[in-house]
Amino acid sequence: MTDRLYLRPTGFVDAPFGYDGQMLRLAGGLTFFAMMELIHVRDGDRVSQTLVPVQALESALSSFSSEIQEQARTTISRLTAPRTTLKLAARTIPLDQPQVMGIVNVTPDSFSDGGMHQDPTAHAMDMLQAGAALIDVGGESTRPGAKPVWEGDEIERVRPVIELLAASGAAVSIDTRKAGVMEAAFEAGAGLVNDVSALSWDARALEVVAMRGCPVVLMHHQGAPETMQQDPRYDDVLIEVHDWLEARIAIAVAAGIDRANILVDPGIGFGKTLRHNLTLLNNLSLFHGLGCPIVLGVSRKRSIGALSGEAPVDQRLGGSIALAVLAAAQGVQLHRVHDAFETVQALRVWRGLRDEALSPI
């Protein structure tokens, strides 16, 4: 029998002043919470869900076994520990505030902007000028139904863009599943790997990232891009995605990757229905318990269209902004987006509200 307690921060408040002992700071960021949802799972089934004030947390945990109490205290430590800065070559990105990762797809068939930008480097520079902290360059579409791209073609697509961006001093990540593309991207100046397969697609990927000692984003997925949206199923999507990511973190650490270099992404739209996606988005704060910074990619995705009269891709900006602000309020550190200027502006306004709330009267 497996018995486990999951902890989800909730009851978010603007500032801690005057509430000593009644709230905790989420991941060292700008968000504070006064409640914790305790989700008790036994053999895959939820036994109970309880909302507990922060000041009553120790008392609530005392009713569980000593093993569960120890696990819960580890989770609490991870929920509240400040996230380290993201280090990419000569650039560092602080993660005590929400940051924007601008998307550059050097592909003809990406779902949102495939083939749209004749000069992807200029487009990337525009996003950096708008306030994006780093640029994520990809040469293979992983949209639903997409087919794999030959490694050589993928390298030829991304290498010149990465070289130009890195030469300008920009922080660059490579969006790929292939170890050979990762190596070529490193040589060109990339400093982070963003892998939609969580280093599971290519047998060499774990070794390549470990040898490089660079940050890596491990993203949840169910199935391959060609078939992942045909019939995705979960018994409990929130718990299953959490546990899957936890297992991939353990595999990465065992392969020699520093846990401090690992970021996690719940993989919105990658083998998930609309209801699955909405459940994950409503409960993003649970994933802070993994102890890693959270990356979220919801920009222009199909779920937004489904909730807005099947709006086409180019009419999903409002929904993308809404989800970015929702995620920031739950402590998400890195937002992967197509519309950098608008997202940066929205997050700056959100941060302005937080800064004012955290300024002593």
Catalytic machinery residues: 301, 336
Q: Could you give the 3-state DSSP secondary structure of residue 166?
A: helix
**CA–CA distance, 199 with 219 (Å, rounded to integer):** 9
List phi, psi (to 5°) of 172: -130, 140
Backbone angles phi, psi at 318, to 5 degrees: -60, -45
Look-up of token digits 């309880």: 50
Structural tokens at position 85? 């800065």
Query: Is beta strand 134-138 parallel, antiparallel or unpaired with respect to 172-175?
Result: parallel
Between CA 300 and CA 256 the distance in angstroms is 35
Contacts of 53 (CB under 8 A, 6+ apart): 11, 22, 34, 35, 36
Q: In 3D, which of 4, 74, 1 has the Cα closest to residue 46?
A: 4
Q: Let me know: does 50 contact 58? Beta carbons within 8 Å.
A: no
How far is 85 from 178, CA to CA, in rounded Å?
26
